[in-house]
A and B are shown apart, each in its own frame.
Chain A
Amino acid sequence: LAKTTQPISMDSYEGQEVNITCSHNNIATNDYITWYQQFPSQGPRFIIQGYKTKVTNEVASLFIPADRKSSTLSLPRVSLSDTAVYYCLVGRDGGSTLGRLYFGRGTQLTVWP
Chain B
Amino acid sequence: EAGVAQSPRYKIIEKRQSVAFWCNPISGHATLYWYQQILGQGPKLLIQFQNNGVVDDSQLPKDRFSAERLKGVDSTLKIQPAKLEDSAVYLCASSLVLAGGPGDTQYFGPGTRLTVL
- Tally the A-B contacts, defined by beta carbons under 8 Å: 72
Interface size, A (range): 20 to 34
Residues of B within 8 A of A105 (CB): 40-42
By secondary structure, the B interface counts as: loop
A98 close to B (CB within 8 Å): yes
A-contacting residues, B19-47, CB 8 Å: 35, 40-45
Contact check: which of A31, A32, A46, A103 meets B43 at CB < 8 Å? A103
Across the interface, do B102 and A43 meet the contact criterion of CB distance under 8 Å? Answer: no
By secondary structure, the A interface counts as: loop
Interface size, B (range): 20 to 34
Alpha-carbon separation in the docked complex, A50 to B41 (Å): 24
Residues of B within 8 A of A106 (CB): 42
B14 close to A (CB within 8 Å): no
Across the interface, do B111 and A43 meet the contact criterion of CB distance under 8 Å? Answer: yes
Across the interface, do B42 and A103 meet the contact criterion of CB distance under 8 Å? Answer: yes
Residues of B within 8 A of A51 (CB): 102
Across the interface, do A43 and B91 meet the contact criterion of CB distance under 8 Å? Answer: yes
Within the complex, the shortest CB–CB distance from B13 to chain A, in Å, comes to: 20
Alpha-carbon separation in the docked complex, A42 to B91 (Å): 9
Residues of A within 8 A of B107 (CB): 46
Q: Which 8 A-B residue pairs are closest in the complex by CB-CB distance?
A: A43-B108, A91-B100, A103-B42, A99-B100, A99-B99, A99-B98, A46-B105, A103-B43
